[in-house]
């Protein structure tokens, strides 16, 4: 039997796949050539899904810690005991310390589990939910909503004449199946390609123009490009005059960013900045494919605003081949699903009221959770429930994160494997994989669609979906009126506005919204002025910059100097998903060790040879990765691998959580992005030296 479905839980992709099933077991996975999203292409992670599904190290039963935290001593318990323990801990914490003493935390969301976690927290009036939002997608999404009223995505259905790929590596990382294949088709049809990336990625190798900025200076570069376009009258005058607000203020504001200054900050020659501005503005239509890398520093939100302004003044918003609006299908609204309006006083207790955009999205920057646990200010957080997340690897300042996890009175984690963070838990719950339960894939929602991901095989042992765990917790905590008899009832209720049941949705597989180009010509943009708000009165009223303003990330201006004379940035591994899948044999063979890219001249200066272990050190700490010499990076920059631990190393503390963990090197201290709270995760001054392995 062959079942058609969509990938998601291995990464964000959503690629169409064909799953071969024999006698209740999955025997083969392949890309679906009939899928309109990926047309048969599938990455290595997608092909490795059977290995994860049947992995011998999967968590199979609920377990309770019986030794010291991290000691690795566990006792198998029943689901009733696990759920009752967690429920009782939540009740006790609320009674003794208040609802604010509890935090829920989510790793990268891939289905309905995030919405149901937020729903449970809102119904219990628990204010603090930590997600990766402030460093992943939310800076771009909130900037988009405030600037043009929708999240603009590249339109590859009508091939653009030019694509500007900024801080994204679609050919090798998490969206390669859908967006990467769409980009390849556009390039094969003749689209010009501009790439902005400190590293010569596979995409950059195909570029007509590659700009290699100093890490963390993307906003300065964007403002420099805007100045060239405005000064040379390369903007789309009719659109600017009729559909934007604040262009005169932008023109004046850009006087602060002369090319000489921008070039000094970014390390990019002035003539290349001019060439980029000229190529992008003259190509019709053109689109921007922006990436998560832009969100890893305190300029994240305003950098997204600058790129939105670039889309707008070149006349590329909501036109065929530009950056378009793709509203989602008719279904239960997210606000209704998470029950956010039931408890308006919740925000009064939230940890991060100064980060207004984070609060509006309903989450707290993770570093504030860590600091509240350790300092007990403005109040203590005493317990956490984490699903699908590995904070020891993903949160800034990993050592401080460890201290916080150890200080908690109670920690419960739902996971597929015993990650370094899960090893610190009091209760560990075994999570099902995406082939083992019915789900609705929400990843495509910003792109205008949702995906059916039906159950294909029975869950291993006693594994439960996160959605079922949360539904059962809600009922045990006395909130049964807001939860469902079973998850099929939940799925049917979510889909009810569409007029179909989940069984009917499974037959279709993908549900799209109603899309049209230039909808703004009929009803304006979804902003207070009904125009693209280049100058944002709303941001000014809230106390934030109404126009994008570049701020240096450290005391170094344009050159790394002194004891820490290099700058590190990072790259995601094409054969993992953040810190996941280091234990999948086929993927680990393709990426056996953490790689640090070092320029040959820099390596020679420090006595490092290709293949040597190298120590990378910042003021926060030191890690080791393996040097790979790369001539196509700036000699002042090194590129580190993200998310490394060693599940095969029982001899190392918490499976080697600190040996190569990039977040040993990062700080979770201010400055943060003022509106959404992004910390500095890249562009950090560092030094290197030759090291031994471990």
Tell me, letter by letter, the H, E, C secondary structure of 624-640.
EEEEEECCCCCCCEEEE
Q: Look up the CATH architecture of domain 63-132+351-485.
A: 3-Layer(aba) Sandwich (3.40)
Does 3.30.200.210 match the CATH number of domain 2-53?
yes
Write down the pTM of the prediction.
Answer: 0.96
Q: Residue 560: its pLDDT value, please?
A: 62
Q: Which of 97-106, 302-311, 572-581, 597-606 has the lowest mean pLDDT?
A: 572-581
Mean pLDDT of the 443-461 span: 88
Of 398, 307, 362, the residue nearest 681 (C-alpha): 398
In CATH, the number for domain 566-691 is 2.40.40.20
Write down the domain spans for the chain: 2-53, 63-132+351-485, 148-326+518-535, 566-691
Mean pLDDT of the chain: 93
Q: Residue 15: its pLDDT value, please?
A: 86
Q: What H or E segment, with its residue span, contains residue 65?
A: strand 63-65
Q: Residue 554: its pLDDT value, please?
A: 63
Model confidence at 532: pLDDT above 50: yes
- What is the gyration radius of the CA atoms in the chain, in angstroms? 24
Q: Residue 441: its pLDDT value, please?
A: 84
Q: Residue 557: its pLDDT value, please?
A: 41
Q: Residue 558: its pLDDT value, please?
A: 41
pLDDT band at 227 (very low <50, low <70, confident <90, very high): very high
Position with higher pLDDT, 178 vs 628: 628
Neighbours of 261 (CB within 10 A): 15
Q: Residue 553: its pLDDT value, please?
A: 82
Q: Which of 109-118, 538-547, 646-655 has the lowest mean pLDDT?
A: 109-118
The per-residue pLDDT for range 196-222, each reduced to its tens digit, is 999 999 899 999 999 999 999 999 999
Q: Which of 114-128, 171-185, 561-575, 591-605 has the lowest mean pLDDT?
A: 171-185
Tell me the DSSP string of 376-424: --SS---EEEEES--HHHHSSSHHHHHHHHHH-SEEEEEESS--TTGGG
Is there a shared CATH topology between the 148-326+518-535 domain and the 566-691 domain? no
Model confidence at 593: pLDDT above 80: yes
Mean pLDDT of the 455-480 span: 97
Contact 667, 679 (CB under 8 A): yes
pLDDT band at 270 (very low <50, low <70, confident <90, very high): very high
Model confidence at 526: pLDDT above 80: yes
Q: Which CATH number fits domain 148-326+518-535: 3.40.50.300, 3.10.20.340, 3.20.190.10, 3.40.228.10?
A: 3.40.228.10
Q: Which of 172-176, 576-580, 673-677 has the lowest mean pLDDT?
A: 172-176
């Amino acid at each position: 039997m062959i079942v058609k479905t969509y990938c998601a839980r291995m990464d964000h992709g959503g690629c169409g796949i064909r799953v071969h099933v024999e006698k209740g077991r999955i025997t083969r996975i392949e890309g679906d050539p009939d899928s309109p999203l990926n047309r048969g292409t599938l990455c290595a992670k997608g092909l490795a899904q059977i290995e994860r599904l049947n992995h011998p190290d999967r968590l199979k039963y609920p377990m309770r810690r019986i030794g010291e935290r991290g000691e690795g001593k566990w006792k198998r318990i029943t689901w009733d005991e696990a759920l009752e323990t967690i429920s009782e801990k939540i009740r006790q914490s609320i009674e003794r310390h208040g609802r604010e003493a509890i935090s829920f935390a989510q790793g990268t969301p891939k289905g309905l589990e995030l919405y149901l976690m937020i729903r449970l927290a809102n119904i219990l009036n628990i204010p603090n939910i930590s997600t990766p939002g402030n460093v992943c997608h939310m800076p771009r999404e909130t900037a988009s909503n405030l600037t043009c009223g929708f999240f603009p995505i590249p339109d590859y259905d009508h091939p653009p004449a030019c694509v500007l790929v900024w801080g994204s590596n679609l050919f090798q990382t998490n969206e390669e199946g859908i967006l990467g294949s769409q980009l390849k088709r556009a390039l094969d049809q003749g689209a010009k390609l501009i790439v902005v990336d400190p590293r010569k990625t596979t995409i950059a190798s195909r570029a007509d123009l590659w700009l290699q900025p100093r890490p963390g200076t993307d906003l300065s570069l964007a403002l420099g490009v805007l100045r060239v376009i405005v000064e040379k009258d390369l903007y789309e005058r009719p659109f600017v005059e009729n559909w934007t607000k604040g262009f005169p203020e932008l023109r004046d504001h850009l006087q602060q960013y002369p090319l000489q200054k921008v070039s000094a900050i970014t390390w990019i020659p002035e003539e290349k900045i001019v060439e980029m501005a000229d190529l992008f503005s003259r190509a019709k239509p053109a689109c921007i494919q922006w990436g998560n890398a832009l969100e890893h520093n305190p300029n994240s939100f305003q950098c997204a605003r600058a790129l939105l302004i670039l889309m707008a003044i070149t006349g590329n918003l909501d036109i065929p081949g530009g950056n378009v609006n793709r509203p989602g299908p008719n279904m239960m609204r997210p606000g209704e699903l998470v029950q956010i309006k039931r408890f308006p006083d919740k925000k009064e207790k939230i940890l991060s009221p100064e980060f207004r955009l984070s609060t509006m999205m309903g989450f707290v920057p993770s570093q504030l959770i860590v600091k509240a646990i350790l300092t007990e200010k403005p109040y203590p957080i005493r317990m956490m429930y984490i699903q699908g997340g590995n904070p020891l690897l993903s949160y800034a300042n990993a050592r401080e994160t460890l201290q916080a996890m150890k200080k908690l009175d109670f920690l419960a984690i739902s996971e597929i494997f015993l990650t370094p963070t899960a090893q610190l838990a009091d209760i560990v719950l075994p999570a099902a994989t995406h082939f083992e339960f019915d789900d609705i894939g929400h990843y495509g929602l910003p792109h205008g669609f949702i995906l059916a991901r039906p159950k294909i095989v029975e869950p291993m042992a006693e594994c439960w979906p996160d959605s079922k765990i949360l539904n059962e917790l809600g009922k045990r905590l006395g909130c049964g009126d807001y939860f469902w008899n079973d998850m099929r009832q939940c799925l049917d209720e979510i889909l009810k506005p569409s007029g179909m049941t989940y069984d009917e949705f499974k037959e279709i597989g993908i549900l799209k919204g109603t899309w049209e180009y230039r909808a703004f010509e009929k009803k304006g943009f979804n902003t207070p002025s009904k125009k693209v708000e280049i100058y944002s009165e709303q941001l000014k009223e809230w106390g934030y910059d109404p126009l994008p303003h570049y701020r240096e990330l450290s005391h170094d201006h344009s050159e790394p100097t002194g004891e820490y004379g290099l700058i590190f940035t990072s790259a995601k591994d094409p054969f993992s998903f953040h810190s996941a899948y280091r234990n999948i044999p086929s993927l680990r063979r393709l990426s056996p060790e953490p790689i640090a890219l070092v320029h040959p001249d820099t390596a020679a200066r420090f006595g490092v040879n290709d293949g040597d272990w190298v120590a990378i050190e910042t003021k926060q700490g030191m890690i080791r990765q393996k040097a790979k010499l790369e001539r196509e990076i700036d000699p002042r920059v090194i590129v580190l691998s993200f998310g490394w631990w060693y599940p095969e190393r029982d001899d190392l503390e918490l499976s080697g959580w600190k040996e190569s963990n990039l977040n040993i090197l990062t700080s979770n201290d201010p400055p943060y992005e003022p509106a959404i709270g992004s910390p500095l995760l890249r562009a950090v001054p560092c030094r290197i030296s030759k090291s031994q392995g471990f």
